[in-house]
Amino acid sequence: MDNPYKHHFLLDPKITYLNHGSFGACPKPIFDDYQKWQRELEHEPVQFIINNAPRYLHQSKKALANFINCEPEDFFFTPNPTFAINTIMRSLDLKEGDEILASDNEYGAMDRTWNFFSKKTGVRYVRSPLSLPVISKEQMIADFWKGHSDKTKVIFLNHISSATALIFPVKEICERARQLGLITIVDGAHVPGHIDLDIADIDADFYTGTLHKWMLAPKGCSFLHVRKEFQDMLDPLIVSWGYESLTNGQSTFLDYQEQQGTRDISAFLTAPACLNFLEEINWRQRAIESRQLISDNYQRFCTLMGKDPICPINDVFLGQMCSIPIVTSDEVALKALLFDKYHIEIPIMNLNGHFYLRISTHIYICQADIDRLYLALEVIIAETDLISTN
């Protein structure tokens, strides 16, 4: 049976694309909206940038705010979560010996950001080990807080892990962090459009997420939400016309963060088009179907690899991604073989010296695509020494 949604996407039809999680994929209707904004910008750059962009930006933010349950004046768009976390990092008033508590499942770029900060300031970045396989949310929470000390001042946590694809109990962890008087920073890169996101309910001090992954926006569209009490302390990563602005905008917070010199904000303006597309396809039902693909196949792939799943197979821990533990002699060669010979785009994640084959699905993926990967892995196991199943 043909996939009824694949024709919407610009992806190469010769490639089985099982790596939506890394950079997303933009459907034609949303990409057309993106190019509409770019053409308007080039048609009259001065009018667009000076007069029209603020109004367009507010409309886009209002649409997104309704979707993620927050106020549009409490967040700003960024190119990616790394930009967002660097903005926070540059504004933290921490002293030598203070600690930032994270898990050992964080995204590699974020680990590097905090390691950079540690070397510059003497602040310790503490990665609390999580036991795998995960048994329960309570176990994850207990493992995380083992890294807490009286020197902990900040917690940093991904909402969905890139490497292990695990959904983290961020609401519960943020609740306890508030009781302890800690600053809470959540990296929700994989969340919007993937699982339900309620910013007000999570109530983190800082929350960053992307639109260009599961919400299907063009590349370079993310946001950073900041609790009101922290907005005045957040310096702009780029100092430009918003600093000591002669034309006051909605707030100093937004002046600082949104007036950052000449740039193309077209991707930021596509939020309404993204939400219209998601509504048209009934995204919550489509997400259920994609999660079902993961549930139906996770154990099957783990068995093929001679491994156990790293978590219970349910929607508490898994969304539209799963990570299969593998033992490989050369992860680079394995990934290249899957792409070059079998035309399958899929990542092999290295986390703490362990390797995971991560499958991520969206509306353009069906069981036949998953089966294609399975058959390729069977051949690779039989004919090469790249994967060990012992």
Give me the residue label for tokens 């070059």.
340
Is residue 1 over pLDDT 60? Answer: no
- The pLDDT of residue 244: 87
pLDDT digits (tens, 9 = 90+) for 241-293: 888 887 777 799 999 999 988 999 999 999 999 999 999 999 999 999 999 99
pTM for the model: 0.96
Of residues 153, 182, 186, the one with CA closest to residue 169? 186
Cβ-count burial 135-174 (b if 16+ within 10 Å, e if not): eeeeebeebbbebbeeebbbbbbbbbbbbbbbbbbbeebb
The domains located in the chain, with CATH, are 31-277 (3.40.640.10), 282-388 (3.90.1150.10)
- The pLDDT of residue 260: 87
Long-range contacts from 48-53, C-beta under 8 angstroms, 24+ separation? 49/262, 53/265
- 3-state SS class at 318: coil
Contacts of 138 (CB under 8 A, 6+ apart): none
Is residue 69 over pLDDT 60? Answer: yes
Say how far apart CA 293 and CA 320 lie, in whole Å: 8
In DSSP terms, 208 is beta-bridged to: 187, 224
User: How buried is 315 (Cβ within 10 angstroms: 0-12 exposed, 13-18 middle, 19+ buried)?
Assistant: middle
- The pLDDT of residue 250: 77
pLDDT digits (tens, 9 = 90+) for 312-371: 999 999 999 999 999 999 999 999 999 999 999 999 999 999 999 999 999 999 999 999
211 and 271 in contact (C-beta within 8 Å)? yes
pLDDT digits (tens, 9 = 90+) for 186-235: 999 999 999 999 999 999 999 999 999 999 999 999 999 999 999 999 99
Pairing of strands 183-188, 206-210: parallel
In the chain, which ranges are continuous DSSP H helix?
20-23, 28-43, 45-46, 53-68, 81-89, 108-121, 137-145, 170-179, 199-202, 228-231, 252-258, 271-280, 283-305, 331-340, 367-383
User: In the structure, what pLDDT confidence band is assigned to residue 67 with cuts at 50, 70 and 90?
Assistant: very high
| Distance of alpha carbon 14 from the chain centroid | 26
243 and 249 in contact (C-beta within 8 Å)? no
Q: How far is CA 319 from CA 161, 236, 362, 376, in A?
A: 11, 34, 11, 24
Instruction: Give the Cβ contact number of residue 8 at 10 Å.
Output: 21
Say how far apart CA 136 and CA 317 lie, in whole Å: 9
Of residues 334, 332, 310, 331, the one with CA closest to residue 322? 310
What is the overall mean pLDDT for the chain? 96
What is the DSSP-derived secondary structure letter of residue 266?
Answer: G
Say how far apart CA 120 and CA 279 lie, in whole Å: 46
Is residue 156 over pLDDT 90? Answer: yes
User: Stretch 139-166: mean pLDDT, rounded?
Assistant: 98
356 and 324 in contact (C-beta within 8 Å)? yes
User: Stretch 59-67: mean pLDDT, rounded?
Assistant: 98
Give me the residue label for tokens 């039809």.
13
- The pLDDT of residue 3: 86
User: Stretch 111-123: mean pLDDT, rounded?
Assistant: 97
108 and 102 in contact (C-beta within 8 Å)? no
